[in-house]
């Protein structure tokens, strides 16, 4: 948002859906405020167009920062519980952590036909980390962005706090799973077995080109569907929170808008808890299923 621009519902939505992007702008680039760069420089984007012009090597600082922070929180909490675990009946937070571990372990054991010590920790990491990132969607939409603007002194600072509303994160997770699918497919079946599954089924050796098209699309659809399902659901949820804030705020007086807007936000937040957990569970389950298929011979 440029300085001096009147805040409208559209600009409010655009501002909250834009990441804090750090990247390189070329020499002679005319910035959003009318300033022209004397030389190429690494800087924060002042507009969505600047973020776009920074290209592939730009970094979404807010997404990266929150995802790393929540990953550290996950490691700290589980490490602390593991150090304090003892024999006997657990209690309090330790009981919750053990319930999560047992829940994930049961799903892995039920689905995996081959024992692999990596799958359990991987599934646990995916479930808890995605749950933590999704849970940031429950935080009031203006709270953390306003705090960031206050701390930096920049009232127009872009700041998104839900990492899974950024396709860079969801595709990063799904591509990591996809690499493991390829790795275990080749490890368990050999290069010939893996290529044979793609080329010879479902219609046999006389339809190899057609088989490759069908199986190739099915293989590539796995990471794409994983990433887009998670991104789409969380992005839509964040957008509804913002729409409730803008519609109620523009249609009603301040005190009524605050009351009714807060009530609707609370109702949607309670319902959204189901989405937060469900999307983490679906991502975890599909990861286990795909890796189980990679371990199996046709």
- Is 233 one of the annotated active-site residues of the chain? yes
Options 107, 211, 233, 292, the catalytic residue:
233
Q: Among 60, 225, 250, 292, which one carries the catalytic annotation? A: 225
Which among 9, 105, 168, 229 is annotated as catalytic?
A: 229
Q: Is 229 a catalytic residue?
A: yes
- Burial classification of residue 122, based on how many CB atoms lie within 10 Å of its CB (0-12 exposed, 13-18 middle, 19 or more buried): buried
As annotated, the active-site residues are 225, 229, 233
């Amino acid at each position: 948002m440029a300085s001096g621009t009147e805040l409208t519902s559209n600009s409010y939505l655009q501002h909250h859906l834009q990441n804090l992007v750090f990247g390189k702008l070329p020499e002679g680039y005319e910035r959003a405020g009318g300033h022209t760069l004397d030389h190429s420089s690494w800087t924060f984007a002042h507009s969505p167009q600047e973020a776009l012009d920074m290209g592939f090597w730009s970094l979404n600082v807010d997404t990266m920062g929150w995802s790393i922070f929540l990953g550290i929180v996950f490691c700290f909490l589980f490490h602390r519980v593991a150090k304090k675990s003892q024999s006997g009946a657990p209690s309090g937070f330790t009981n919750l952590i053990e319930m999560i571990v047992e829940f994930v372990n049961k799903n892995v054991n039920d689905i995996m036909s081959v024992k692999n010590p990596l799958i359990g920790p991987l599934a646990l990491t995916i479930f808890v980390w995605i749950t933590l990132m999704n849970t940031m969607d429950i935080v009031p939409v203006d709270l953390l962005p306003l705090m960031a603007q206050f701390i930096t002194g920049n009232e127009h600072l872009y700041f998104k706090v839900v990492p899974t509303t950024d396709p860079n994160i969801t595709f990063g997770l799904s591509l990591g799973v996809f690499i493991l699918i390829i790795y275990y497919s080749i490890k368990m079946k050999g290069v010939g077995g893996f290529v044979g599954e793609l080329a010879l089924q479902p219609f046999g050796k006389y339809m190899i080109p057609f088989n490759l098209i069908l199986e190739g699309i099915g293989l590539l659809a796995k990471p794409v569907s994983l990433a887009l399902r998670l991104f789409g659901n969380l992005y839509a949820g964040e957008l509804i929170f913002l729409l409730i804030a803008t519609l109620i705020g523009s249609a009603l007086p301040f005190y009524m808008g605050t009351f009714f807007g807060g009530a609707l936000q609370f109702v949607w937040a309670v319902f959204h808890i189901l989405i937060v957990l469900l999307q983490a569970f679906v991502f975890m389950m599909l990861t286990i299923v795909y890796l189980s298929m990679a371990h199996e011979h046709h």
